Amino acid sequence: MSTQPSTELEVFPNPKSSRDYTIHIESPEFTCLCPKTGQPDFATLELEYIPDQLCLELKAWKLYLWSYRELGGFHEDLTNRILDDLVNALNPRFICLTAKFNVRGGVYTTVVADHRSPDWNSG
């Protein structure tokens, strides 16, 4: 069992690539650092995607998220960076990442980023 964070997103072959189906993953313990103060920011990440040939391995996803624990970044940048990494690893038909950051100074932030494969038709 790994006890270290990792920036590698492991994937496995989609067992039913002939069908459009949705995978929803909720990760309520995402943490990163505020780029201004260095204080921790907490968020729930909601990932929803329609795989093409590959699916995301969940243990690798947990270790990947752990790698952000000591990284600073604005919410918008981090959400888009994570989405870019997922698109590069999975090449999904469709993917949407919603990052719901906890309150900081009386303000909640939610960032939603998505990607559609240019050759995918949602029906």
Catalytic residue among 34, 84, 114, 119: 34
Under a CB-based contact definition with an 8 Å cutoff, are residues 120 and 92 in contact? no
Catalytic residue among 20, 32, 41, 119: 41
Contacts of 45 (CB under 8 A, 6+ apart): 25, 26, 27, 30, 65, 82, 97, 98, 99, 100
For the chain, first and last CA: distance in Å?
A: 41
Measured distance CA(8)–CA(61) in Å, rounded: 8
Examine the residue annotation and report whether 34 is marked as an active-site residue of this protein: yes
Q: Which residues are catalytic?
A: 34, 41
